[in-house]
Chain A
Amino acid sequence: MAINWFKYSAPSTFYGLAGKLIPWFALSAAIMFAVGLYIGFVVAPMDAQQGEFYRIVFIHVASSILSMFLYLIMAGYAALGLIFNTRLSSMMATAIAPTGALFAFISLWTGALWGKPMWGAWWVWDARLTSELILLFLYLGFIALHASIDDPRRADRASALLAIVGSVNVPIIYFSVKWWNTLHQGSTIKFSGTSMHVAMQQAMFVTLVACWLYAIAVVLARVRSIILERERHTKWIAELPEVK
């Protein structure tokens, strides 16, 4: 059976699909969070150097990874919208931005809470921390720019350029600990493997999956509202049971 993928690039068909998917993603996110936090706080042993403090990695690392990946996905959707002039791609980019900003903020916030007891400072202007802060500002700039232009199609095009330009920051964040001297430690998860105890690894992996599932559920819910708002003059929306 051939699946017509382009069928779901139309907001009218994607709206229904997203609505069906949201409960599954939300439910599995809740389960994975519970499992991940249980492994992280009960099963995983304490760390030889940092004692119990290191346990903040289970939230910190997942949200940092999400903040970077979501930015790339957002920029990818924005580029698709710009190139193919598809409405749904731009709506997806707009829907991802607040979740990405949230994860960037959580990453910075938990990092500060971790830095004070371990390093001795809430904040240091090292390359890793500064580039992650720039990422948060790029998200906020994207949201603000999109909101400041009244015509949604023009807003899509202007903010798409900002998103695409800002994507050069993501590799800088990732490689910052390699390229420069930073107070932030190097990557624990590398392409060559992980320098972490097995139970800690599992907790980190499960919370990472949970964050992904949460992000997908929230983005789908948000894109549904955006579709409703932007397509409100169309016939198919007027015929929706929840609108009637």
Chain B
Amino acid sequence: MKPRQKRFVFIAVAVAALAMAVGLVLNALESNVNLYFTPTQVFNNEAPHGRSFRIGGVVQEGSVKRANDGLTVNFVITDTHKSITVVYKGILPDLFKEGKGVVAQGKMEADGMMRAEEVLAKHDENYMPPEAADALKQAQKIQAASNPAAAPVAR
């Protein structure tokens, strides 16, 4: 083998070995790399006890209740399978809306509710003008009315 070919093989092997090592490390770290737990994972006891963590999901439709002080908010985070009630005192991000993605950080209380220190809104990767969004909503409504079983889940 020429020196140039030797160097090529050396680099190829080194990169392959490194990629495998990084892959294994990331695989081992998997649960720690995730930013949040889903409500189902919390019910399965996969979330840490007694310390702060994040729950991610969708704000359940009709679940947002504001207290009289104007700052405290109650809402339910759901992954359509399990849901968890969150209490938060503070200013919500603009994108916080029922039926939209949310990530809340806080501790679980003894009553099974999360007392959140921080609430972040998660938006999706779809971009469309308001008229198109309205048309999409109308179409979903018509479809839901004609075929309730196959109604799409609001995201």
Q: How far is the CB of B17 from chain A (nearest CB, A)?
A: 10
- Once the chains bind, are B128 and A183 in contact (CB under 8 Å)? no
Is B114 positioned at the interface, with any CB of A under 8 Å from its CB?
Answer: no
A197–B7 touching, CB < 8 Å: no
In the complex, what's the smallest C-beta–C-beta distance from A164 to chain B, in angstroms?
6
Across-interface contacts of B131 in A (CB, < 8 A): 45
Q: A83-B8, A168-B15, A180-B35 known; A188 and B122 CB under 8 Å?
A: no
- The A interface is mostly helix, strand or loop, or mixed, namely loop
Known contacts A48-B129, A83-B11, A197-B129: does B33 contact A120 (CB below 8 Å)? Answer: no
Per-position binary interface string of chain B over residues 111-129, scored 1 when its CB falls under 8 Å from any chain A CB and 0 otherwise = 0000000111111111111
- CB of B133 within 8 A of CB of A48, answer yes
Residue numbers in A under 8 Å from B122 (CB-CB):
119, 183, 185
Contact of B126 among A117, A119, A183, A196 (CB under 8 A): A196
A188 and B128 form a contact (CB under 8 A) = no
Complex alpha-carbon distance, A233 and B145, angstroms: 80
List which B110-155 residues lie within 8 A (CB) of chain A.
Answer: 118-134
Tell me which residues across on chain B come within 8 A of A49, comparing CB atoms. 95, 100, 123-124, 133
Provide the A110-137 mask, 1 if CB < 8 A to any CB of B, else 0: 0000000111110011110000000000
A151 to chain B, nearest CB (A): 19
Complex contact B4–A83 (CB within 8 A) = yes
A38 to chain B, nearest CB (A): 18
Most buried by B among A183, A186, A188: A183
Question: Is the CB of B42 closer than 8 A to any CB of chain A?
Answer: no
Give residues of chain B (1-27) contacting chain A, Cβ–Cβ below 8 Å. 4, 7-8, 11, 14-15, 18-19, 22, 26
Check B130 against A167 for contact (C-beta < 8 Å). Answer: no
Known: A119-B93, A167-B15. A195 touches B35 (CB 8 A): no
How many interface contacts (CB-CB < 8 Å) are there between A and B? 117
Docked Cα-Cα span, A120 to B100, in Å, equals 14
In the complex, are the beta carbons of A118 and B34 less than 8 A apart?
no
- A45-B129, A46-B130 known; A180+B123 contact, CB < 8 A: no
> Do B95 and A186 touch (CB < 8 A)?
no
Q: Which of under 10, 10 to 19, 20 to 34, or 35 or more describes the interface residues of A?
A: 35 or more
Residues of A within 8 A of B8 (CB): 83
Complex formed: what's the CA distance from A168 to B26 in Å?
12
Does A164 lie within 8 Å of B120, measured CB to CB?
A: no
**Of all chain B residues, which has the CB nearest A188?**
B125
How far, in angstroms, from A182 to B17 measured CA to CA in the complex?
27
Does B47 reach chain A (CB closer than 8 Å)? no
Among B35, B125, B128, contact of A197 (Cβ-Cβ < 8 Å) = B128
User: Does B58 have its Cβ within 8 Å of any Cβ on chain A?
Assistant: no
* A85 CB within 8 Å of chain B: yes
Contacts of B130 in A (CB 8 A): 45-48
CA distance A223 to B123 in the complex (A): 41
User: Is A79 part of the binding interface, using a Cβ–Cβ cutoff of 8 Å?
Assistant: yes
Top 3 closest pairs, chain A to chain B, by CB? A120-B93, A48-B133, A45-B129
Chain A interfacial positions (CB closer than 8 Å to B): 45-50, 54, 57, 79, 82-85, 117-121, 124-127, 164-165, 167-168, 172, 179-183, 185-188, 195-197, 200
Q: A47-B130, A195-B125 are in contact. List 5 more A-B contacts (CB 8 A).
A: A45-B131, A49-B95, A119-B95, A165-B18, A197-B128
